[in-house]
Every structure is written in C-alpha cells, then in structure tokens.
A and B are shown apart, each in its own frame.
Chain A
Amino acid sequence: MSITVLAPDELARKCRDMRTTIIKTIGDANMGHIGGDLSVIDILGTLYFNVLNVNPAEPTAPNRDRFILSKGHCAVALYTTMAHAGYFPVAELATFIQPKSRLNGHPCNEKLPGVETSTGPLGHGLPVGVGAAIGAKIQKKAWQVFVVVGDGEIQEGSNWEAAMTAAHKELDNLTLIVDRNRLQQGDRTHDVTSLDPLAERFTAFGWEALEVDGHDYGALIEALKGPRAGKPRCIVANTLKGKGVSFIEDRVEWHHKVPSPEQVKEALNELERGA
C-alpha cells in the first residue's frame, strides 16, 4: 500500500496540477528538460500516489519500496512529484538549480532524502535497482524496486547487462518502466538507433514485458500492481514527449528548450482549458 492512494480520476487532476508546476518551475529557472518531464509525469504520479509504499515523513525507512529515476535529467518531474507528495514544500521548487540548492539539475540522494541514488549519467538506474532487488531477496524482505528509464537511455549497454542479471536472478520484485516517448535529444529514437521491438527484446532477455499507454492511469496501475510471474517485469509505457502542451508535444527541439514567458502563459492556459 502506498501512503496515498488516488484513484485514476484523482490522479488525472493531480498530474494536471503537477504539469502546471513543471511548466512554472522550468519557466522560472530558465532551465529544464521539459519534454521528458511532461512525458514521464503520469508514470511518476501513478507510482507516488497509488503504488509505492513510501512515507515522505520517513524517507529512509528500511522497508520502503525503492524508486529510482534513472533518467535523472527529468529531475523537475521527480521534484514536483516529491513536493506534491509531501517530501518538501512545493514552494521550495523555486530554488531549483539555484546556487547551493538541494534541488540540483540532476537528483542527488545525499542532498534530498527520498532520492535513492544520484542519477544523471544514463544507464545507471537499472544496475542499482538490480542490486537493491537482490538485497531485498537475500534479506527476505517484501519491499519492491521500481526503476524508470527513458527509451533513448536504453541504448546504454549497462541496461542490457543488468537486464540479463535480473532475469537470471528471477527478480520478480523488480519493475522497469520505460518512458517510451520515441524522442531523444538529437532525433527520433527510430532515426538514431532503433529500439523496436522493445517489449519483445525484454521478453527475449527473460523478462515479463507488457506495453501500456503511459498516460492511462488505470492501465499503469494494473501493470504496476498486477500479479507476478516469477520474473522481472518491464512495462513499456508509450508516452508523448511534451504531453499536455500542444506546441511542445512530440517535437524533438523541446528536449530541453525553455518556454518564453509568453509560451509559459500559453501552456498554462492550455492545461487549464483541458481540465
């Protein structure tokens, strides 16, 4: 059980609010990875407000579920979710990337309790998650490990090393969610190094793999909480980079472009209209 359990319709409202926070935070800071933040936020919202057994008041409780955002450049999405979940005040998001802020451009576990490991360089989260899942098994603990990677990130070979290890160790306490937004910094993933068929690749590696709409809260909940088959689970969550703001959606150039003050206004209006 997570501390907070929101049903799909409540999650939709929460994630709409969080999208607003992301736009404002990036606009104010004049920096951030807006496209990936908006594609992953429904996944993060579902995890923190329906799935993860975590307690913001006790962020290092030994039996908490472990969540690792491997795509650390989407720190604003993580900070926004953690702030909305009660790890720290939402107002603190105004300090994002400011000198000596604990809200770095990439998450740091030593600065922000609740972050499990510092991420930023790609391909690090899954190996760490594999270690944590093995650690839970050795100690016969019931807590689970969830890792979110970007789809472009899957090009890092370390993921496939860890994928082999996870399958060999039958880590059915490990869930990998791929934010499959089909864009990476420089181009469409398909035009850089094709990843398809992605779910089948994980199946071939010995994982249980399924595909869902990464913006469908009900489908995400079912995929994240469904009964396990004695294997690590990969959820390929099909998403739209920039989801929720029409002029950002599915455009390569919005990987880390910052909206102008006018565009911030336009984006916020659009989110409000869509509510």
Chain B
Amino acid sequence: MATMDKSQLHDCRDAFAATLEALAEQNENIVTVVNDSIGSSKLNGFRKKWPERLINVGIAEQTLVGSGAGLANAGLVPFVCAASCFLTGRALEQIKADIAYSNANVKMCGMSSGVAYGELGPTHHSIEDLAWTRPLAGLDIFVPADDIETAAVIRYVAQSDHPCFVRLSRMGVPTVLPKDYEFVPGRAVPLREGNDITLIGCGVTVCRVLDAAERLASDGIQARVINFSSISPLDRDTIVKCARETGHLLTVEEHSVRGGMGSAIAEVVVSEAPCKMSLLGFPEFAPTGSAEWLLDNTGMSVDGIVASAKTLLG
C-alpha cells in the first residue's frame, strides 16, 4: 500500500545516480555512456569516482546507442544515459537493430522524459518514447513512480541480462512506495483497493492518481489504484482482473494518448476483458509551459482526473 509522504519531493535522477554508484562499486563491469549529458544524467559523482568508466561519445546519439551495444558485446554492462527525447527519437533504428533485435545487454536510461522539459517545447518533450519503443520485442520498458521504485528498478536491470529502456523524470514527486518495496518486472503494483473504478498511472502521474482516488472516496466512489511501472513485460492478468472487478479503467500518463501505457492496456482490454475505458494523456504536441502546468492543463490535474473518472462512471 502507498506510503505517500508529500513533505518532500524527489528528483528521481538522484535515486538513479546513488543506486548506480553503489552498484558500480560492487561491479566493475558497469560503465556509463553519455552524449555529453553528464550533468543532466546526474553522473558527475560517477565520473569523479570512475572517470575511465564514463564514456562520453559526444553529441552523437547513433554512436551513443551503437557503442552501447558494442560495449555489451565486449562483456560490460553499459548504462546509456541521455535525454529521453534524443535517446529514443534520434537513435530509434539503433535501438531496434543493435539493442533489441541483437539482444544486446544495454541499459538505456531516458532522462527528463515526458514533459519534464516543458518550457523548452515539443522538440524536447518526450511524449512519444513509449510508443516508439513498445513494439520492440525483447526490450524491457520500465517507468518508475518515485525514488524508491527508481532505485529498485536500477538494481533489477543491473543484474538482469535483458536490454531495457528505463524512463526517468526530473519532475519532483513524493515517495509513494514503502521502503522495503521490491520491483518485479511484469507485475503491476496495487496501491489502493476499490471496486468502482480502476485508476492506472505510471511515473509522475501515480501520485496524482492517488490524490484523485482520495478525492473520489470523499464523494463515495471507491477507486482502485494501480502503479503500472512495467510497460513491457505487461501484467495482463492484473489488467483483466481490474477490468472484470471494477468495470471501468482510467489510464493517466505523461505521454501521448497514442501508443503509450494506456494503449498497451487497451490492447489487452479489447481482446480479453472489454469494459468502459478512458485514456488521459497528451492528444497532440503539447504547448510550452512547466511540467506541472502542462499536466494540469491537459486534464491530468487531480481535479481533471476526478472529473474524467466521474464522466467514465456516467
């Protein structure tokens, strides 16, 4: 169950960096690869400790991802870190051919994903990255919700032999998971019980979804809340169970409504457990503004989520 502490907001990149450094201390095969994105990936500490294990290929994303595959071929465990918009968009064919199809054990970490770079505009927004990577067979895709889950995901991927894409934000989020939380790929994480509707979030929307559930409860609506951090592999059983038990699904994501978490869930719902469903996300290129403002302005404020849930319930 959730243990949301709103007194402190976390930039999940801090948990990423601290966890990675602790793991790198134990495993000398862990290296990092960047496209000059050292500070924005919070890797200054890593560089200070292991300068020879931080490989900066320059502003060259195709080489960033391709050389990650080569480093894995050489027996290392590369964490390839770059702003998510450039990592996925610029090097998509390398991700497909060199990483996924070649099954190269590369850990791609997409920094400042979604609308974290809200003010910088749609060129720097990364609200298409899940749609681009989701069809790539064999590629694990994880979107941690808070600092605890970020650390747990990084620990998992460091010991896994699968290629992966981890989507991280820089937007402050409260801790929503307990300290002893253990990440299991392919397992959706229930955060609140309820049988009237299921609210499903991932990443930075999870805390908003939890608040919305609380608001709905005060109106007599019991909303189930699911943290859907594992986009691939997908927890089909939980989707079917929630669809059957609550009859209404509302997905909320910091991503395009086309091709992201909601779409992945809808694919299961349509074929296995049709129910009433609605998807919240970005319907088009987002305007410019802070990440908070963009989410609020696109129906993903707590009020907006509550309103969408009530509309869905009819």
Contacts and interface: CB of A to CB of B under 8 A. Distances in A.
A133 B70 contact: yes
A130 B72 CA distance: 12
A149 interface: no
A138 B62 contact: no
Interface bracket on A: 35 or more
Nearest to B33: A131
Given A136-B74, A138-B53, A124 B67 contact: no
B242 to A, nearest CB: 35
Interface in A2-57: none
Contacts of B78: 131
B97 interface: yes
Nearest to B67: A131
Interface string B93-113: 110011001111000000000
B60 interface: yes
A220 B307 CA distance: 72
A138 B52 contact: yes
A145 B67 CA distance: 13
Contacts of B70: 117, 127-135, 145
Contacts of A135: 70-71, 73-76
Interface in A118-171: 118-121, 123-124, 126-136, 138-139, 141, 145, 157-158, 161-162, 164-165, 168
B247 interface: no
| Majority SS at the chain B contact face | helix
A110 interface: yes
B55 A134 contact: yes
Contacts of A116: 73
Nearest to B100: A118
A99 interface: no
B12 to A, nearest CB: 27
A109 interface: yes
Interface string A77-120: 00000000000000000000000000000001110000011111
| Majority SS at the chain A contact face | helix
B63 interface: yes
Contacts of B75: 62, 135, 139
A139 B70 CA distance: 13
B101 A130 contact: no
Contacts of B57: 130, 161, 165
B292 to A, nearest CB: 36
Given A138-B31, A138-B53, A165 B67 contact: yes
A134 B31 CA distance: 11
Given A109-B102, A124-B66, A161-B62, A134 B94 contact: no
Contacts of B33: 131
Interface string B72-95: 111110100000000000000110
A132 B73 contact: yes
Nearest to A108: B101
Contact of A164 (B58, B72, B101): B58
Contact of A127 (B62, B76, B101): B62
B300 to A, nearest CB: 37
Contact of A128 (B31, B60, B67, B101): B67
A66 interface: yes
A117 B69 contact: yes
Query: Closest 5 CB pairs between A and B?
Result: A131-B70, A135-B74, A127-B66, A131-B67, A161-B60
Interface of A: 62, 66, 108-110, 116-121, 123-124, 126-136, 138-139, 141, 145, 157-158, 161-162, 164-165, 168
